[in-house]
Amino acid sequence: MKQVYAPYEFDGVRLRLLAEDDLRATLAWRNRDGVRQQFKNPALLDWESHHAWFLRYSDKAEDLVFMVEDALTNTRVGQVAIYAIDNEKRTAEIGRFVAAPESQGKGFMRRGIGALMRFAARELSLSSVYLEVLDTNVHAKRLYQTLGFVETDSREGLARMERTV
């Protein structure tokens, strides 16, 4: 069963757990041309499969998806996630990053990822996080490097990057 976490604020953004009411927005954000091609599965998702994923996700304790909100306006600006949480190793994977189109280029996702890493350290007591990014996604790789991630492996078109929290 998934633990309920209170909204978490840091650096002008708020993270709150994804709710069913958010699904139409996140589906539209993820399906945009130029965005979906950056996911491991670039296919268009339909409502039924997205909703079915949410129902499965709702039962997974080790999988947390957050809406990123502008803390000043309460506007949804993106989505971030932490999953494959391993409490014994104190590690997890982060990803599923997607910005609302109207918030792109305003620093919200950088701050959202920063808040997620802080949440990982303070609320989950993790020591490190990792992510996978397509080798061709140069913009994202550059962002992750500025956030302190270091590439540790590259295979089959994916780079693995890690960072201590």
Q: What's the rounded mean pLDDT across residues 60-82?
A: 97
Residue 146 has pLDDT above 90, yes or no: yes
Q: Long-range pairs for 97-101 at CB < 8 Å and ≥24 separation?
A: 97/140, 98/26, 98/29, 98/30, 98/35, 99/29, 100/25, 100/29, 100/75, 100/76, 101/29, 101/32
Residue 33 lies in a domain: yes
* DSSP E strand boundaries for 116-157: 128-134, 150-155
Residue 106 lies in a domain: yes
Identify the pLDDT of residue 2: 86
Q: Is 125 helix (H, G, I), strand (E, B) or coil?
A: coil
Residue 24 lies in a domain: yes
Distance, CA of 50 to chain centre: 16
Which residue segment(s) compose the domain that 43 sits in?
8-127
Say whether pTM exceeds 0.75. Answer: yes
18: domain CATH number? 3.40.630.30
Q: Are 131 and 144 a contacting pair, CB within 8 Å?
A: yes
Query: What is the spatial order of strands in the sheet that 13-17 belongs to?
Result: 8-10, 13-17, 63-70, 76-86, 91-99, 128-134, 158-164, 150-155
Residue 78 lies in a domain: yes
Q: How many domains does the chain have?
A: 1
Task: Identify the DSSP state of 33.
Answer: T
φ/ψ (deg, to 5) at 4 = -90, 130
Mean pLDDT across the chain: 96
- Summarised one tens digit per residue, pLDDT across range 18-55 is 999 999 999 999 999 999 989 989 999 999 999 999 99
Comparison of pLDDT for 40 and 122, the residue scoring more? 122
Residue 94 has pLDDT above 90, yes or no: yes
Residue 155 lies in a domain: no
Residue 45 lies in a domain: yes
Q: What's the rounded mean pLDDT across residues 87-94?
A: 97
Residue 157 lies in a domain: no
Residue 116 has pLDDT above 90, yes or no: yes
Give the angle 73-75-77 at the CA atoms, nearest 5°.
130
Identify the pLDDT of residue 1: 78
